[in-house]
Structure 1
Amino acid sequence: MPSEMLIKIFSYLDTVSLLAVGRVNRHFYHLANDNGIWLKIYSSCFQPKKTLWKMKSEQTESVSLGCAALHDRKPGYWKKEYIFKQIAVVKARVMQLVKPVDPYTGLPCKNKEAMKASGLSWIIVLKDKIGKEHVMEEANLSFKDTSVTILWYSTDWPCLDILSTLKLFGVIPLLPDQSRARSKNGPRYRSLIAEYRLANLTEKSVEVGADKLVRLFCLNSGLVVGLWKVKNEIAFVMTSLHYHQLFERSTLGSATVKYALPPHKPLLDDVDPEYGLHDYSLHLDMHGRSCTYLCGTFKSLFCRKGRVGRTVRCDFKMIPAVMFSFYIQYFCFKGRNLN
């Protein structure tokens, strides 16, 4: 089929389908990058401030390839412009949503709305010993004041014995305008958050509880894996992600490298050299996936220099099995300006 006819057919496709067609082969890739097609898409979504081309009434469905907007532009130029513009629009919308900050936690108040606006979601990728990947989309989300709890469950998990690694990714659509549809087949960008080794899971991980049907194992960084007792296979996977720099961790990494958080250097108080931090507040949030069991803020706290930067460890074996789905989230901040 002639290239001109294929370009005409491609001009009737939406952006997601157009990107998918470009992955068929090299010839289709070059045709799907046609500036005439993408300029039409761009101009239909973003009204230009100045008209760079003249269009007669009978030419409303096509753009002349000899116009100034297409002249001396490399193939794919307007495709990139369209994608970058869409990302910029969504980013501006998200930034407006995350501006209001909770005075007690220091975290944005509208995290749920911001995540929905950006199309952000999370997936886990299970890789077996021969390199095949099994992608599990999120099944259930629970938003709290300081964190989001994600639960993956399915009846079609791959066999545990053949699995080698589990990777947790933040996922955003390449075309944010398609985020409302949440198409699993559309182009998406992955950002690696954490990676876990599943080989010899029951021997190398800590068993934190069990009931008549399921055994619970806790991996580092707060990932909980439930295994069926009878088959010793995966029943569900659950994790809780704190809102602190969650957008950065979920969007600014790559498919192979995690986003490197900037070093945290707490400010030392010079009132008394023996004290490390003064007038801090601790916000504690203990919850399940569906309800909150404990939520409170403790003010006027301090710690000595030797304890700055230390983490709090909990012995999960001391907690009843029913409590394993609960998470305690901490966020301390300077509290002198609080009323």
Structure 2
Amino acid sequence: LIMATGLGEFLRRLRRGLVQGEQNSPARGDTQVGEFARMYIIAYSTAKLDCMLSVHLRLPSEIILKIFSFLDAFSLFNISFVNKQFHDLANSNALWSVLYASEIEKKMWRPRVSMIKEAVSSTIVEEKPAGYWKKLLLKEMAGYKDTMWKTELKHMNPHTGMPALTEHVLRRLHIQWEITLTNRHGRESVYEQTHTFFEDSSVTVCWSQGAWPCMYTVNSLQLHGIMCPASPAPGDKPRWRSLIRKTALQRTGHCSFFGADRLVKVLQFDKGIIVGLWRGNWKIAFIMVNLHFHKLIERSLLGSRFCPYLPADDNAVDLDYSRHGYTLHIVLHNPVQRIMCQRFSPLYTRRVMSQGEFVQLIAIDFANVSEHVPVTKFSLPWQAHGLQGEVERCCMMTLTVLDEAQRPFWCVSSTVKMYRRQRVLDLENEGEQFIVLYGDAEGKVKMTFVWMEEFQHYFLVQLVTMFPTAKVKRHFSGEC
């Protein structure tokens, strides 16, 4: 704990636990042992660090365990990282079962609380495997009681293929997202979200408030999901943080220039993270992230602070299903409004002759004019510190590909940018042509737009997605 939270924090929490133990539980534990524990705390307060470490090594395990009984869950968790002896003692079922019973007792609306507490206090405690009560308590503190929201997520939106009540569940559980920036010296700065924009199958989260550092001093960015209480109060327990992604910001290969206006320039990092920088000083102005609804609640709740949630592989499909009846749902939007929303079904696979390792789905063919879709002007509006602007020819893309069983096959939430097309397609409609490209290890997207000056609109004249044949074989457990 000395290494994890600091000596001052350790002593403060331990003394507070002793005072509360005397006030609330005068008969708690053996009197002689409790007196020895209090004397030990006083010794800890005045001794130096090297003396402390030598003192605790001479103490019996029973005394150390008694001292640990005055700690709260946060301190008990941290102290387990000091050494192996502390780790073993701090994970004792006897300690965590008492904390778990106390947590359950606070929630009087739960049925048969007295029976639960009695069971926790009985000999059943030691019969459970090591760490059992610790896991239960941490899940309780993290809001892991997921019976209700998992039931709600079973209702699917037939248009998008995503759970229809995702936004409702996110708001009811008070789930928010925060980012942690780590500088080159390991110092962390945490920023809370300032704005969210929900679409049918994604949410765009923006951060634009706070004292931002210069970009060249930031080493990495971490995105966490958190559960915020509806009415926070002083002394609330620490919020559970679930890591969603971690991005190294200093790797030049992971970022690209995305766009600019007269006030900011925008960089794009892997997995759709947008960082806006003030022109001239390289200070961060805002950060945006687009999050797909697929497993979003699980990723925002069920991970830990350092490890993301890894969903089970539930994409196995019966071989009786057709392997060529796909559905594609695509939304182009920004943090303010929707630009385009289209659904294509069914789509059939074709092998790419020039790239034999890929199969493709053609949703819009430039040769078929009846399929072309009008699209409003591309832009990415932003606000920061009372200023606002708009970066042209870029936006967010949320793409969902479903198989014939309407199960997710490929889910993408990213930022995309228009480029002038070098090789112009032979089209009946004359106009400047632009191309949007996206690619990762799971697939590729290619869109071609034509700007019609007389209508002041873009027209989407080509939409093609491609997947590696290995992905298709793995999904269907056989040949594509």
Instruction: Please say whether Structure 1 and Structure 2 have the same fold, judged by a TM-score greater than 0.5.
Output: yes
Query: In angstroms, what is the RMSD of aligned CA positions?
Result: 4.4
| Pair 1:195-2:246 in alignment | yes
CA shift, 1:249, in A, is 2.9
CA shift, 1:282, in A, is 1.8
1:245 corresponds to: 295
Cα deviation digits, residues 232-280 of structure 1 (max 9, x gap): 1100010101111223333343333334453867888987xxxx623x2
2:66 corresponds to: none
8 Å contact from structure 1 (residues 39, 78) kept in 2: no
The amino acid of 1:187's aligned partner reads: P
The amino acid of 1:296's aligned partner reads: Q
Between 138-147 and 249-258, report the one with greater CA deviation.
249-258
CA distance in 2, matches of 1:94, 1:52: 23
CA distance in 2, matches of 1:196, 1:84: 27
| Pair 1:211-2:272 in alignment | no
Higher Cα radius of gyration? 2
Aligned partner of residue 172 in structure 2, secondary structure: helix
CA distance in 1, matches of 2:283, 2:103: 48
Query: More relative contact order in 1 or in 2 (CA 8 Å, sep 6+)?
Result: 1
1:130 corresponds to: 185
Aligned partner of residue 348 in structure 2, secondary structure: strand
| Pair 1:322-2:392 in alignment | yes
1:47 corresponds to: 111
CA distance in 2, matches of 1:68, 1:206: 58
| Pair 1:171-2:185 in alignment | no
1:56 corresponds to: none
The partner residue of 1:235 within 285, 292, 312 is 285
1:277 corresponds to: 324
The amino acid of 2:247's aligned partner reads: Y
CA distance in 2, matches of 1:2, 1:143: 43
After TM superposition, the score normalised by the length of structure 1 is 0.70
8 Å contact from structure 1 (residues 127, 134) kept in 2: yes
The amino acid of 2:259's aligned partner reads: G
| Unmatched tracts of structure 1, length 5 or more | 12-16, 54-66, 173-177, 313-318
After superposition, where does 1:1-339 map in structure 2 within 5 Å? 5-9=19-23, 19=73, 39=101, 41-43=103-105, 45=107, 46-48=110-112, 51=115, 70-72=121-123, 73=125, 84=139, 90-172=145-227, 179-181=229-231, 186-199=237-250, 205-261=255-311, 262=313, 277-278=324-325, 280-306=326-352, 307-308=358-359, 321-324=391-394, 326-334=395-403
8 Å contact from structure 2 (residues 225, 243) kept in 1: yes
CA shift, 1:82, in A, is 5.6
8 Å contact from structure 2 (residues 97, 120) kept in 1: no
The amino acid of 1:116's aligned partner reads: R
8 Å contact from structure 2 (residues 105, 113) kept in 1: no
The 1:127–1:228 alpha-carbon spacing in structure 2 relative to 1, beyond 3 Å, is: same
Cα deviation digits, residues 128-183 of structure 1 (max 9, x gap): 111111111222111110101000112401232221111222234xxxxx732367
The 1:91–1:8 alpha-carbon spacing in structure 2 relative to 1, beyond 3 Å, is: farther
Aligned partner of residue 298 in structure 1, secondary structure: strand
The 1:42–1:266 alpha-carbon spacing in structure 2 relative to 1, beyond 3 Å, is: closer
CA distance in 2, matches of 1:80, 1:7: 24
CA shift, 1:330, in A, is 1.4
The 1:284–1:183 alpha-carbon spacing in structure 2 relative to 1, beyond 3 Å, is: farther
CA distance in 2, matches of 1:169, 1:300: 36
CA distance in 1, matches of 2:308, 2:347: 33
CA distance in 2, matches of 1:309, 1:190: 39
The amino acid of 1:194's aligned partner reads: R
2:51 corresponds to: none
The amino acid of 1:121's aligned partner reads: Q
Aligned partner of residue 134 in structure 1, secondary structure: strand
Aligned partner of residue 335 in structure 2, secondary structure: coil
The 1:96–1:24 alpha-carbon spacing in structure 2 relative to 1, beyond 3 Å, is: closer
8 Å contact from structure 2 (residues 98, 120) kept in 1: no
Aligned partner of residue 342 in structure 2, secondary structure: strand
The 1:34–1:107 alpha-carbon spacing in structure 2 relative to 1, beyond 3 Å, is: closer
Aligned partner of residue 156 in structure 1, secondary structure: coil
The amino acid of 2:243's aligned partner reads: L
The 1:257–1:155 alpha-carbon spacing in structure 2 relative to 1, beyond 3 Å, is: closer
The 1:8–1:84 alpha-carbon spacing in structure 2 relative to 1, beyond 3 Å, is: farther
8 Å contact from structure 2 (residues 277, 286) kept in 1: yes
CA distance in 2, matches of 1:110, 1:266: 25
1:61 corresponds to: none
CA distance in 1, matches of 2:215, 2:19: 50
CA distance in 2, matches of 1:240, 1:149: 4
